[in-house]
Every structure is written in C-alpha cells, then in structure tokens.
C-alpha cells in the first residue's frame, strides 16, 4: 500500500487556521445529493431484508459473492418483465443495486483481509 500525503485543496499549511486536508478525497456529498432517491430505494430493500431475515444477517451468508451475484442477476432479468418485485413490492432495480453493493462489499473486504496477510521483506 502506498502512503499518500494529505493536502489542503487551497494549499494551506496543515497547521494553519482553516486548513482541512481533504484534497483528492472522495466527494461523498456528490453521491448523496446525486443519488438520494436511488439510495433511499436501496435502503428500503435493506429494511425489507432486515425484517424478513435479521438485521445484518446477510453478512453471515455462506458463499456470499456467488449467491448475491446470482440474486442480482435474477432481479435484473425479472426487471425486464415487471418493474416491481411481487413479494416485496419494491423495484427490481433497487433489489439489483442492493445485491451489487453486497457483492462489492465482500470483494473489498476480501482484498482488505488479504492485505493483512501480505508479508513484506525488509
């Protein structure tokens, strides 16, 4: 992992009043503002799943990447036939997005776990 030097976007020294070392950091505000409706729809799927199963129970599913990728594909295909999932009443696109996020979460977590075990030679 490379170490990146944090900087203030205006070039202010980090020890000067008004400095904020957020240059080149992700602009979460753009995502929240730009995708607020989509994120709310995914949150509704999250709530539906928590009520149907258990809060955060999805984390303990066996073979999660394959199973959530499969669920994502099922919702994508079903979305071509109907807009809303018959069981939940929520959009297939929101279910598909939820499953895509679950897959991404596990892939990133797997990469982070692998990083912990990389041996570095001096």
Distance CA 73, CA 85 (A): 13
pLDDT of residue 122: 45
Residues 74 and 86 sit within 8 Å (Cβ to Cβ): no
**pLDDT at residue 25 tops 60:** yes
Q: CA–CA distance from 54 to each of 6, 47, 49 (Å)?
A: 40, 10, 7
**Per-residue pLDDT tens over the stretch 37-63:** 999 999 999 999 999 999 999 999 999
Distance CA 76, CA 100 (A): 11
The domain locations on the chain are: 35-116
Residues 76 and 96 sit within 8 Å (Cβ to Cβ): yes
**Per-residue pLDDT tens over the stretch 1-16:** 446 789 999 999 999 9
């Amino acid at each position: 992992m490379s170490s990146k030097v944090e900087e203030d976007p205006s070039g202010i020294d980090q020890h000067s009043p008004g400095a904020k070392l957020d240059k080149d950091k992700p602009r979460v505000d753009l995502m929240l503002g730009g995708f607020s409706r989509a994120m709310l729809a995914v949150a509704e799927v999250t709530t539906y799943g928590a009520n149907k199963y258990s809060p955060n129970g999805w984390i303990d599913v066996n073979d999660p990447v394959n199973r959530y990728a499969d669920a994502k594909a099922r919702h994508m295909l079903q979305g071509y036939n109907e807009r809303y999932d018959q069981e939940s009443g929520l959009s297939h696109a929101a279910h598909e997005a939820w499953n895509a996020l679950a897959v991404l979460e596990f892939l990133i977590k797997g990469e982070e776990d692998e990083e912990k075990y990389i041996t570095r030679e001096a």
